[in-house]
Amino acid sequence: MTRSKAYVINGGAGRVVSSIPAFEKLAETTDDFIIVCEGGTDFYKGHPTLHGKVYDVWHKGLFEQHLKHRDLITPEPYRVWEYYNQKCSLAQAFDIIINNQGVRNLPAPRIILNKMEVVQSYNIVQEVKFKTGFDKVIVIQPFGRSVQNLGEFVVDPSSRSFNLKDTVEIINDLKKEYGVILMSEFPIALEEKETGKSPVAMLQINDLRVWAGIIDIADHFVGCDSLGQHLARAFNKTATIVTGSTFPVNISYPECPEFDIIDAGKDNRVYSPIRISMEDELDRANDEAMELSREQVHQVLASIKKRLGKSTKFKGKFVPPQQQDVGYCPTPSTQQVPAFSTSSGSLKPLSVSYTDGDKQ
């Protein structure tokens, strides 16, 4: 007799989002499965077929009531042959394990936002437009979860994140023409000699579903090998993605017409077998895979401007909701982190500092 199955999903939110298409396919053939999510169930919430099948690891009675009688399967896409030989994507690797149908085309992951999340996100983007004066807004996520803040440096030992210098250069160029929202756990000191330029919104939002809404409502996404690009794909947004130590076919969407991929590591990387082996020399070999050349920086900027066109002066109205404020950081060398707190589903302003007369 075949026992029913429980799938245990671990790792970051990007892996959770990437697993959605495979589980949607599974739900077309059977109703007899559940999903246990070690990193949080945020992006399964509200899904029309998966929501009722998903459990957090702390769910009361999870083992005795839901797991003990099932086979437990922990899908590990990085250990799929097609994945580590660059024959499939992260989503396809999940599908190979879960559905055993080989490499096949999959739809974009489906994320369902509720009205509160949509309204919160809309208000944030509107305020960015209001304070920058531009009608087009970009979200940029320069760093992945493996990045480390070491004093004055932001370093990614896995070489999947933007170089800090390149990040500052790109943002300082973009903020001349567009509203810019920085999606980062760390603030960035934007060195600026000229005055009169628009500020950059540095938000600290803990609720990833609000970030999903911001990406959906914004006009373009710029990122690396991290969560944001999967959210952009879920909402069919245009995106400029830069890859370094990881291969676009594995971690991004090179066949998607809405995505422009600048492959910085194409000629000087080796595959790093994450979650398979711990070979230090491979990360060392990829140490400069995300160091952008002048030409590649220009490619990034050209991709963004091609997708967005020219921004015009924002003429809309902005009515600030109660207890909301956005922190901006136009030129700081030292600063507090402008932040949102989204605990209990409400936005509350935290400590915010302004410089160069840009306080509003």
- For 154-164, the pLDDT digits (tens) are 899 999 999 99
- Among all chains, which residue has been given the structure tokens 């959770």? 16
Whole-number pLDDT of residue 320: 77
Whole-number pLDDT of residue 327: 55
- Among all chains, which residue has been given the structure tokens 């890859």? 243
Q: Is 317 exposed, middle or buried (0-12, 13-18, 19+ CB in 10 A)?
A: exposed
Reported as a single tens digit per residue, the pLDDT across 186-218 is 888 876 555 456 789 999 888 999 999 999 999
Whole-number pLDDT of residue 152: 81
Nearest-Å Rg of the Cα atoms of the chain is: 21
Q: Residue 176 is encoded by which pair of tokens?
A: 């001349």
Reported as a single tens digit per residue, the pLDDT across 273-310 is 999 998 889 999 999 999 999 999 999 999 999 999 99
Sorting pLDDT into bands at 50, 70 and 90, what band is 356? very low
Whole-number pLDDT of residue 326: 54
| Strand 259-263 relative to strand 239-243, pairing | parallel
Sorting pLDDT into bands at 50, 70 and 90, what band is 339? very low
Ranges 12-16, 95-99, 195-199, 254-258: which has the least confidence: 195-199
- Nearest CA to 142 out of 174, 179, 124, 168 is that of 168
Whole-number pLDDT of residue 258: 98
| Strand 5-9 relative to strand 71-73, pairing | parallel
Does 56 score more than 90 pLDDT?
yes
Give me the chain's average pLDDT, please.
88
Does 127 score more than 60 pLDDT?
yes
The mean pLDDT of 36-61, rounded to a whole number, is 96
Are 212 and 113 in contact, with CB atoms under 8 Å apart? yes
CA angle 327, 170, 179 (to 5 degrees): 40
Does 343 score more than 80 pLDDT?
no
Does 124 score more than 70 pLDDT?
yes
The mean pLDDT of 333-343, rounded to a whole number, is 32
Does 141 score more than 50 pLDDT?
yes
The Cα 308–Cα 326 span in angstroms is 24
Reported as a single tens digit per residue, the pLDDT across 65-89 is 999 999 999 999 999 999 999 999 9
| Strand 179-183 relative to strand 201-203, pairing | parallel
Whole-number pLDDT of residue 196: 55
pLDDT cut 90: percent of the chain above it: 76
Residue 242, helix vs strand vs coil: strand
Q: Residue 209 is encoded by which pair of tokens?
A: 């579903």
